Each structure stands twice: as C-alpha cells, then as structure tokens.
Structure 1
Amino acid sequence: MTSVDNDQAKHAIRNRVWALLERERAVPPGVHGRIPAFFGADAAADRLAELPVWKSARVVKAVPDKAQLPARARALIEGKLVCMAVPKLAENKPFYLLDPATLTVPPKDAASSKVAASVGRKIGIEDMQPVDLVVCGSVAVNRYGVRLGKGAGYSDIEVALLHEAGLIGPETTIVTTVHSLQVVDDDLPETEHDFSVDLIITPEGVTECSPPRRPDGLIWEHLEQETIAAIPVLAARRDDRTRDG
C-alpha cells in the first residue's frame, strides 16, 4: 500500500469513527477533525489510575486534548509532574512543565490546555526528566495497539523526539484513553514513524496490546519540509544535520 493509499484509508476510518460517535451521542457535536472529547473520560481516567503503572509513575507526558484532561488533572492531584506539548510544537521550548508543588491554581484548572500556558513553565527537551508514562489521545485504535490520531502527526513527532533524547524507551508504557466505540477491529495502516500503545483504557475496561513498537527517533524522509520549518526544534536539528554533512 502506498503512502497515499495509507492516508486515504486512515482518513476513511477517522471519518467513520467520528460519525459513529456523534450518531451514538457518545461525544458533543462537532467532533470531526478532533481527538474526541468522549463522554466517560472521567471514568476512563479513574480506571487508568487503578493500574500499577500509573501508581508508580512520577513523570507523565500527556497530550493537551480535552479527552485526556481528567487524566492530567488526576496526575497533578496525585503529585505527579505533567509535561504537555506547546500547541503545534511551535516554540523553541516545546513543552509545558506542570509541577503540582508550584501551581497557583487548582489542578483541574492547571490541567486545561489554555491555563497550562499561563501557569506551566516552558521547557526544552534538554530540560525534561525521563518519562515514566505517556498518555495519548486517539481517534481510533485496535487491539494490537495501532492508533490513529487526528492526522496532524504531532504525537508521533513528540514520541520520536523523546525517544531520540533517551527520555522514553521500549520500557516506557504508552496508554490511550478512549470511548469503547473508538476501539475498532480494522487492520489499521501502520508506518515506520508510528508508535503503538501498550494499553487501551475505556470506561469499561483495559486492553493490553503487544509487542511495543516505537521509532528509534525522527524519520526525516517522512517529514514534509513545511512541517520541519514550522516546528523550531525540527528546523534547528535539520540545520545541525546540514552543517554536519
């Protein structure tokens, strides 16, 4: 299957899942193009918090999407450090660090993407601590851990950057919290730059996926020049690669 065929197949599955979620009233209206903010996200976060991998985690890297807000808030309430990406990674320091010891607002407020921008400290990859747990969002995911995001590719870039920096590895658990309707039986397209999830958390249960699949780092030939230019940390690395020959 060509990359164009892959993209078309992914887009068709996303559209099907977005339509299904809206038809079944599992999400608020207007979910197309987004990571679904599904009803039951709080229950999924509660189920995640029951797991040993959550209880032992000290540093959590989480996406800024609304569906994962309850997990971020729960992490801060329990005293965990939370790292969230700056929107579109459009800063030289592309992550917010939320430290519950220094918050000036309640954890649930701090965990929202808008408030995090004002209360979190912007940090570069070089300032980050090793990540114990990654919480990602998905539009669709299957029982083998293959996931589809909304199509922008930022989560894949974040994981690749952190892996390249030695901040996550094959032993780092990656979870996604989703509605049960987002768990599909499809043989989802998977490419070399995609990462798999180890655990799928729904309000109803937990699905273990294996084996873990992670890119060792950035796969430059898979990145559009426009994407590289728009993300300062990628542009700087491209320039370094050019200078090094």
Structure 2
Amino acid sequence: MRHLEEEVEDKAWKWRIRKRVCDLMEREKIAQNPRPVHHRIPNFVGAASAAQNLRGLEVFKGVKCVKVNPDSPQKQVRFLTISGGKQLLTPQPRLRTGFFSMLESNMFTPTINEACTSVGVAKFGRPIGFD
C-alpha cells in the first residue's frame, strides 16, 4: 500500500510542474498546436529551429538509425532523420500493429513530409514487433 501512495504522490508533484509549464507556455504565447498543450508533450514556437541543431552534432551525423517519438514537437527531428539518409524508428501510437515502425530514407521529399506525421508513419512505416 505504501508503494501505491508514493506513486500517487510522485505523479501529483509532476503534474503540478507540468501544469505550471503548460500554463506559462499558453500565457507567453509560445504554445503551438495541437491544443490544449496540457496532458501531452507540448508543441512550442521554435521546435523546428531547435531540431536543426541536430545537424551539427557528431553523434547524429554518425548514426544510421534514430528513434524519435511521434509527438508533434519532434516532427522536424523525424524529417531530418529520414532526409538525412537515416532510418527512423518511432513508437506506434497505441501499439496498433507492432511496437515500433521503421521508416527508410529512400523517399522523395514530399513523401518524407507526409511520412513524418502519425498518418504517414501508419502509411509508409514497416511495423516491428518484439521478435
């Protein structure tokens, strides 16, 4: 029972911090769609610009496969991964047909733009299970 109480308490303080950050983002007008930003990883003004910093990182330059979450603030990271000739590994929303989806880098740019969305991952991604 003690463990459950600690878990609830742990989530409560995290929620208070997350709420303050999301409220601040809305108040300062740096929150971007999808809205509301509460109860999700919030998108923000400058997310795409921040992603551009990856190009200069040696660790990003040297890898062949990058795991990126499907959240909207990371869309540009997914684009940079695929357009940079790397494989993209992304968790499947609600584990529809596998655990992850793999997207290859052999796409034309308009297709890459679509592939970086949740609909595009379902359309172009190859499901990967636990096997």
| TM-score, normalized by the shorter chain, greater than 0.5 | yes
Question: Percent same amino acid among aligned pairs?
Answer: 35
Letter in 2 for 1:75: T
For 1:44 and 1:33, locate their aligned partners in 2 and report how far apart those are by CA, in whole Å. Answer: 22
Residue 110 of structure 1: CA displacement? 0.9
> Which residue does the alignment assign to 1:148?
none
Q: Determine which structure has greater relative contact order: mean sequence separation of CA pairs < 8 Å that are 6+ residues apart, divided by chain length.
A: 1
- Per the normalisation by structure 2, the TM-score is 0.87
The alignment status of 1:16 with 2:13, answered yes or no, reads no
For 1:66 and 1:119, locate their aligned partners in 2 and report how far apart those are by CA, in whole Å. Answer: 18
Give the paired residue count. 125
In the alignment, is the contact (CA less than 8 A) between 1:104 and 1:119 conserved in 2? no
The alignment status of 1:107 with 2:124, answered yes or no, reads no
Runs of 4+ in 1 over 6 A off after TM superposition: none
Unaligned runs of 5+ in 2: none
> Which residue does the alignment assign to 1:32?
38
> Which residue does the alignment assign to 2:76?
70
Between structures 1 and 2, the one with greater helix share: 2
Give the CA RMSD over aligned residues. 1.8
The equivalent position to 1:4 in structure 2, one of 3, 8, 20, is: 8
For 1:41 and 1:102, locate their aligned partners in 2 and report how far apart those are by CA, in whole Å. Answer: 23
User: Could you give the per-residue CA deviations for residues 140-196 of structure 1, whole angstroms, max 9, x where no partner exists?
Assistant: xxxxxxxxxxxxxxxxxxxxxxxxxxxxxxxxxxxxxxxxxxxxxxxxxxxxxxxxx
Residue 105 of structure 1: CA displacement? 5.0
> Which residue does the alignment assign to 1:80?
86
User: Could you give the per-residue CA deviations for residues 199-240 of structure 1, whole angstroms, max 9, x where no partner exists?
Assistant: xxxxxxxxxxxxxxxxxxxxxxxxxxxxxxxxxxxxxxxxxx
For 1:125 and 1:55, locate their aligned partners in 2 and report how far apart those are by CA, in whole Å. Answer: 28
For 2:55 and 2:27, locate their aligned partners in 1 and report how far apart those are by CA, in whole Å. Answer: 29
In the alignment, is the contact (CA less than 8 A) between 1:103 and 1:110 conserved in 2? no
For 1:87 and 1:9, locate their aligned partners in 2 and report how far apart those are by CA, in whole Å. Answer: 26
The alignment status of 1:123 with 2:128, answered yes or no, reads yes
For 1:66 and 1:45, locate their aligned partners in 2 and report how far apart those are by CA, in whole Å. Answer: 12
Residue 113 of structure 1: CA displacement? 1.3
> Which residue does the alignment assign to 1:41?
47
